[in-house]
Amino acid sequence: PGIGDGAIERFTARFSQPIVPLGDPRAASPFDVTCAVGGQGRWVDPQTFVYDFANGLPGGTVCKFKLRSGLKSVSGYAVSGQQE
């Protein structure tokens, strides 16, 4: 995670296979995000998605990143799992 001034500011997910072609900036988020602090995500390359929180997370904040149903790699393989 990105950490500034002791607070988490970023969530980064790296997939083992390409999920979007050439880090398409228009590609949808692979996650449904539940968090008290808003933010915005973007693909930085075909395998790496970064979600920047609007503000550093206060201590004790729980955020959930659940992979969207039906997510597939560029090759067509199903992706599964959950991050918190």
CA-closest candidate to residue 65, choices 15, 5, 4? 15
Report the alpha-carbon distance of residue 64 to residue 52 in Å, rounded: 14
Angle at 35 between CA 74 and CA 40, to 5 degrees: 50
Report residue 82's pLDDT band, with 50, 70 and 90 as the boundaries. very low
* pLDDT tens sequence across 11-38: 999 999 999 988 677 789 999 999 999 9
Please provide the DSSP assignment of 46-63 as one string. Answer: TTEEEEEESSPPPTT---
* pLDDT tens sequence across 32-56: 999 999 999 999 999 999 999 999 9
* pLDDT tens sequence across 60-75: 899 999 999 999 999 9
Contact 42, 50 (CB under 8 A): yes
Report residue 5's pLDDT band, with 50, 70 and 90 as the boundaries. low
Query: How do strand 48-53 and strand 39-45 relate by DSSP bridges?
Result: antiparallel
Helix (H) or strand (E) holding 2: strand 2-4
